[in-house]
Structure 1
Amino acid sequence: MEEESEVGRESDLKAAGAELLPDGRRGLHLKGWKIESLHRSILTSLAIQEWEEKLGTSHLPEMVFGESSLCLSHVDSGVKLHYNAFDALKGWKQEALPPVEVPAAAKWKFRSKPFQQVILDYDYTFTTPYCGSEAIEPNQGKITSENSCFDLQWEDCDERIDLAALSAKEPILFYDEVILYEDELADNGVSLLTAKVRVMPSCWFLLLRFWLRVDGVLMRLRDTRVYCAFNDKAKPVILRESCWREATIQSLSSKGFPTDAAVYGDPSHISQKLPIIKHKTQRLNIPG
């Protein structure tokens, strides 16, 4: 289901120097940034075939919002952060995790497609290591053709995202959530990738979340948080924090947590109870 975007009060937007995007587009211009979300319908059958060919697979999630995206562009530096389903599924294909074993093995052995049956010998959960896409856009601000060919690099760092700043009572100028893909695992759980953005007068904050629940078997949460405090410098300071959590239902049950899938409809309710598998904080290195 498409989430409703939220736009701040006109007085708050004006006080912060923000301008909404024209022509009914979702997003705004603020402190040298253009932040825009796109909500589009799921891929058509023809587009699905094209994606399968490009990705080298015969499997895609039930609902792929292939033209939906979240994009944050910094005009002076040309930096563009982009969150989309295609790049996320490229990550899924490359990681190629083994399929999760489920109790109802016979039921899960096959998935029907027109005129064929496909053995579930692939990662049907569509788990992705994707943390986002980044690029330098040519012909933006001060960017030149000489340095536009450089790849942006995320470097490990000890800095942490300022959670105190995020909890400060600031007006929200813009908020939106974009679903990139979703699969209900043949009514045996959920696999969901979403991107959320929140823009305040002092900063923007983004959460890219992959949430997996295989009923009776496993829960997996892969969160990527990205934060940027506004400044007047030509190069923004962008921090990214990735945290992967995972636990079997059996291990949670042994600690006294309920096993009923209905309890875990919202990953926020269980996230802190899942052990951390991987965690790192990085800073974007912008050339120039």
Structure 2
Amino acid sequence: MELEIDEKELKAAGAEPLTNGRLGLRIRGWEIESSNRPILTSPELLLWEERLKTSHLPEMVFGNSVLSLTHLASGTKISFNAFDALAGWKAEALPPVEVPAAAKWKFRSKPFEQVILDYDYTFTTPYGGSEMIDTNSKKAAACNLYWEDCEEKIDVAALTSKEPILFYDEVVLYEDELADSGVSLLTVKVRIMPSGWFLLLRYWLRVDGALMRLRDTRMHCVFKEQSFPVILRESCWKEGTFNALAAKGYPADTAAYNDPSVISSRLPVIKHNTQKLKLDYNP
């Protein structure tokens, strides 16, 4: 839920709220907007299934919800949406998590027939955001945005400083409760400070009694007067089984694992990397 806007703090930071009912800020050459909309309707879901070439989608898809961050001078736009995230799930196609109860979770209309789970019913996605040059920019056709591995790290210490938060919001992209046997959830949170913006895209999975998985993507941008912004993206994939956690002395009770922020420090890292957004311009 967004914070109440303090007009004095906004003015001091050179920021102003978006107009025409839009939620977000314009600040230091950036336009940042969040939108939380209802879940997709049945006709919309059918269209998505056709476009994604699948008959499986999460129980709740907030397909019209989006977070977008646009650097006005360069036309660089980074956005987060459910469709691109599910396209990533479909392309990655991880094997389904093996648990004895899984087969009965996803039957649709024939409960007496054996159901073979041949897809990743957890909707795990490698999605780290969508980037593009805004089509309103004259340079769009000649530009190519890409992420390049780098040694720089997000300055976590700077983010813990006592700086006013000018805007905060959380956008839920999709959610599935795995037939009351866990949770699969993709959200993105953003906060804007006078010095820059920071966001966390988090995929959180808990398959009760079996597995927990976190895929976190953090992005940070420090406001500077420049033609192209410096944006760092840090991606981290962690996961572990309930049995492995219990062997380390952690609780085996599902009730102890409701908060992914608490669980994060207990899960082993599977993959981690940091990247910087780059722009090629070929007129």
Indicate the TM-score class for this superposition, using the shorter chain for normalisation. over 0.9
Residue in 2 that maps onto 1:258: 251
Residue in 2 that maps onto 1:10: 7
Asked whether 1:22 is paired with 2:22, we answer no
Gaps of 5+ in 1: none
Contact in 2 for aligned 1:8/1:171 (Cα 8 Å): no
C-alpha separation in 1, matches of 2:108 and 2:88: 25
Gaps of 5+ in 2: none
Secondary structure in 1 matching 2:141: coil
The TM-score with structure 2 as length reference comes to 0.95
Q: More displaced, 149-158 or 212-221?
A: 149-158
**Number of matched residues?**
280
Contact in 2 for aligned 1:62/1:183 (Cα 8 Å): yes
CA positional deviation for 1:176: 0.2
Residue in 1 that maps onto 2:238: 245
Secondary structure in 2 matching 1:86: helix
The TM-score with structure 1 as length reference comes to 0.93
Q: More displaced, 55-64 or 261-270?
A: 261-270
- Among 165, 171, 185, the alignment partner of 1:172 is 165
The runs of 4+ residues in structure 1 deviating greater than 4 Å are 113-118
Residue in 2 that maps onto 1:93: 90
CA positional deviation for 1:237: 0.3
Percent sequence identity is 64
Cα distance change, pair 11–114 in 1 and its aligned pair in 2 (3 A) = farther
C-alpha separation in 1, matches of 2:116 and 2:142: 42
Residue in 1 that maps onto 2:124: 127
Q: Which amino acid aligns with 2:108?
A: S
Contact in 2 for aligned 1:111/1:119 (Cα 8 Å): no
Residue in 2 that maps onto 1:49: 46
C-alpha separation in 2, matches of 1:211 and 1:196: 13
CA positional deviation for 1:106: 5.4
CA positional deviation for 1:111: 1.8
RMSD: 1.7
C-alpha separation in 1, matches of 2:201 and 2:187: 6
C-alpha separation in 2, matches of 1:201 and 1:41: 31
> Where in structure 2 are the equivalents of 1:120-269 lying within 5 Å?
120-140=117-137, 144-145=138-139, 148-269=141-262
CA positional deviation for 1:287: 2.9
CA positional deviation for 1:104: 2.3
Q: Deviations over 1:182-217 (max 9, x none)?
A: 000000000000000000000100100000000000
C-alpha separation in 2, matches of 1:228 and 1:66: 26
Q: Which amino acid aligns with 2:73?
A: D
- Among 55, 60, 74, the alignment partner of 2:57 is 60
CA positional deviation for 1:57: 0.3
Q: Which amino acid aligns with 2:28?
A: K
CA positional deviation for 1:131: 0.4
Q: Which amino acid aligns with 1:235?
A: F
